[in-house]
Structure 1
Amino acid sequence: MRIFGCVMAGGAGRRMGGDKAAVRLAGQSLLGHAIARLEPQVERLAISANGDLARFAGYGVPVLLDETPLGPLSGVLAALRWAAPLGATAVVTLAVDTPFSPCDLVPQLCLAAESAPEGLAIAHAAKDHPTCAIWPVSLTEALAAFLGSGAKPRVLAFTDAHHAARAYFPDEAAFQNLNTPADLAEAEALIRGAL
């Protein structure tokens, strides 16, 4: 299997008060944290984003624009269309605002995907985290059709329709989303406490 990765950084970050990818945690951007977690686990890496792409110039990885911004699934589709011609088997996505994601995210998702009829698996730690998932490139056209159908583009609606397996992670904090300045302050306190 050839597994590529994509950091999902296309959200508006309204509750955070700005671009979440650029928000600093322990001296590093949230995007930097996500790249540091995911890049060692995949063959190639990209960023899914919208807006001014110049802000990602220093990261040295391709930036993928949504064809039609319809939420996270648009970013997944862009990632699959980028990865498939390069020979990828699947793409693992990671939300940019999950700086504590597991260092074994990819192997655990791959293991769970083995039991799924279409090879799709999402992370689960106390609840589902569908933007942290492994997406086989074979689902590209099905996802494009889903996004073009006019249905509300909910990630779980698509993953459930395609019988996604769950990769279970014991640490609930592993996928903690940093959505607000308060969440960021809590994460800073966690990191300081761990040092």
Structure 2
Amino acid sequence: MTTSIPATSIPPTLGVLLAGGLARRMGGGDKPMRTIGGRTILERVIARLSPQCGGMILNANGDPARFAAFGLQVIADDVPGFPGPLAGILAALDWTAANRPEIEWVLSAAGDCPFLPRDLVARLHEAREQENAQLAVAASGDQTHPVIGLWRVALRNELRHALVVEDIRRIDRWTARYPLATVTWPTEPLDPFFNANTVEDITEAERLAALDEVSQ
């Protein structure tokens, strides 16, 4: 499905790829560095999102040098204890405020979703504007994907308070406080939010990658 919003009306949006997970179900390591069809998952994600965003950064903890080949600014969580993706989103909002003050919106996406929609940013902004919402998240089928969404940079101090003072870790607990738009994508011919969490998922991703090439 294509968006009805003219490209010029989409607000400048910075993309952040969240790659700070511990990948326990894959035996550790960086899930986005796994290879599908001869390309890393992260390479596929960047290819999907970079045309939609006015710049991209990567949220990851540990040695940033392991991502040097991708040419993205790497930012780490500044909330200790691996509190989850909200910490990565907060780090991205803070980085954007300090380094790209002209940008009011950040699009977050999981770094292990190789088939993200090519109209992700446009449709999320369209729904947010139509519903006068403060935030927008993606869904497919009957499942919401709260880690994939639009975040207003101006909410960063409220998010920090929720994380540090209230110890809120679940994204949907925080987003429930604000008017939220949810945009649903079809799951055929494939779910665009399929993510590679396990070794078995990599095998399935290989099959879907071939299907994705045919459907384009």
TM-score for the superposition, normalised by structure 1: 0.94
Q: Which of 139, 161, 183 lines up with 2:155 in the alignment?
A: 139
CA contact (8 A) 2:135 2:180 kept: yes
Q: Identity, % of aligned pairs? A: 38
How far did 1:22 drift? 1.0
* Deviations 1:73-118, CA, capped at 9 Å, x for gaps: 0000010011123121100011011101100000011111114555
Distance in 2 (alpha carbons) for counterparts of 1:2 and 1:189: 34
**Shift in Å, 1:150:** 3.4
Distance in 2 separating the partners of 1:192 and 1:166: 29
Residue 164 of structure 2: aligned partner: 148
Q: Secondary structure at the match of 2:26?
A: coil
The correspondence for 1:10, drawn from 20, 31, 42, is 20
Measured in 1, the distance between the counterparts of 2:124 and 2:68 equals: 29
Which residue in the other structure is 2:36 paired with?
25
Distance in 2 between the 1:77 and 1:152 partners?
13
Q: Could you say what secondary structure the match of 1:46 adopts?
A: strand
Q: Distance in 2 between matches of 1:60 and 1:96?
A: 15
Distance 1:81 1:42 in 2: 17
Name the count of aligned residue pairs.
Answer: 195
* Residue 125 (structure 2) aligned to one of 91, 110, 115: 110
Q: Structure 1: any 5+ residue segments left out of the alignment?
A: none
Identify the residue that residue 188 of structure 1 maps to in structure 2.
206
- Deviation larger for 157-166 or 91-100: 157-166
Q: TM-score by structure 2 length?
A: 0.85
Aligned to 1:179: 197
Query: Which blocks of at least 5 consecutive residues in structure 2 are unaligned?
Result: 1-10
* TM superposition shift of 1:138: 1.4
Asked which structure has the greater CA Rg, the reply is: 2
1:51 aligns to what?
A: 62
Corresponding residue of 1:81: 94
Query: 2:134 maps to what in 1?
Result: 119
Match of 2:4 in 1: none
Supply the AA of the counterpart residue of 1:153.
R
Q: Deviation of residue 168 (structure 1)?
A: 1.7
- Paired with 2:147 and 2:132, the residues of 1 have a C-alpha distance of 19
Q: Secondary structure at the match of 1:175?
A: coil
Structure 1: 4+ residue segments shifted above 6 A: none
Q: SS of the counterpart of 1:5?
A: strand
| Structure 2 residue aligned with 1:170 | 186
Secondary structure, counterpart of 2:168 in structure 1: coil
What RMSD over aligned residues (CA atoms) do the two structures have, in Å?
Answer: 1.5
